[in-house]
């Protein structure tokens, strides 16, 4: 599940209704975005997006959660249109419903002109970071982490830099390539499940005006009367 910016429109121009087929994977509706604030619902969408249609029982196995704890979240995602029922499959004596995401790839559509949408997106991003923190800690706890070599599978980091427009474009190409690798990585022999979370954001620059030398306070200027020691170099 990724994000993309909204096109700029003039104040008098109304945004045309999205075509049902062209942008099927764009999550525009604030109700859909708010539904993804829940980390559990993010996990459900991510699992089905990656693995394909699943029953609740299969989904519970993927997530390591009891099936009974997922029904409410499945119904919520169905109600806002992010999940659809695509069939049934025999599961013992019962037929289990198969659920799939409404489209692939799913992307949250940034609409900076609507404060309610940007607030919801910010909350979704915060949930993603919390999930990443949990997954990172679990990798070490379960001894799944490989921390060196070209097959290293556990990383975290933060960096800052002054990027030119061309460098920002390069970063976006690299992130798009990373997402493409994950989208093409379906369950298969020899493959193990991984997650990647990233946040790219511009930062305000706080330019501090040059100031005069700091003046000492009267208390600092007061002579205590004690002899001052001089440290000489030897």
HEC letters along 115-144: HHHHHHHHHHHHHHHHHHHHHHHHHHHCCC
Q: What is the pLDDT along the chain (234 residues), one digit of tens a residue?
A: 654 444 444 343 444 443 434 477 999 999 999 999 999 999 999 999 999 999 999 999 999 999 999 999 999 999 999 999 999 988 777 888 999 999 999 999 999 999 999 999 999 999 999 999 999 999 999 999 999 999 999 999 999 999 999 999 999 999 999 999 999 998 899 999 999 999 999 999 887 666 555 555 555 544 444 444 444 444
pLDDT value of residue 117:
93
91-95, long-range: CB within 8 Å, 24+ apart, which pairs? 91/55, 91/57
Q: Could you tell me the pTM of the whole model?
A: 0.76
pLDDT value of residue 136:
97
pLDDT value of residue 216:
53
pLDDT value of residue 93:
76
pLDDT value of residue 228:
47
| Whole-number Cα distances in Å, 96 to 74, 92, 132, 172 | 13, 9, 31, 40
pLDDT value of residue 2:
57
Domains of the chain are 2-7+18-153 (1.10.10.10)
pLDDT value of residue 118:
94
């Amino acid at each position: 599940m990724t994000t993309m910016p909204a096109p700029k429109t003039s104040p008098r121009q109304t945004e045309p209704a999205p075509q049902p087929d062209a942008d099927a994977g764009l999550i525009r509706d604030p109700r859909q975005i708010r539904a993804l604030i829940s980390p559990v619902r993010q996990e459900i969408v991510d699992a089905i997006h990656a693995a394909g249609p699943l029953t609740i029982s299969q989904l519970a196995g993927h997530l390591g959660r009891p099936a009974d704890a997922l029904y409410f979240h499945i119904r919520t995602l169905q109600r806002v249109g992010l999940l659809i029922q695509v069939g049934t499959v025999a599961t013992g004596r019962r037929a289990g419903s198969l659920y799939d995401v409404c489209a692939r790839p799913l992307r949250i559509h940034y609409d900076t002109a609507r404060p309610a949408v940007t607030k919801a997106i910010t909350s979704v991003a915060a949930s993603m970071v919390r999930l990443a923190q949990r997954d990172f800690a679990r990798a070490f706890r379960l001894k799944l982490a490989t921390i060196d070599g070209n097959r290293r599978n556990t990383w975290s980091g933060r960096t800052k830099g002054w990027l030119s427009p061309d460098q920002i474009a390069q970063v976006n190409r690299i992130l798009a390539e990373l997402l493409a690798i994950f989208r093409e990585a379906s369950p298969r022999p020899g493959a193990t499940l991984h997650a990647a979370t990233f946040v790219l954001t511009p930062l305000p620059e706080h330019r501090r005006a040059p100031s005069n030398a700091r003046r000492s306070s009267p208390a600092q200027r007061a002579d205590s009367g004690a002899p001052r020691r001089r440290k000489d170099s030897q």
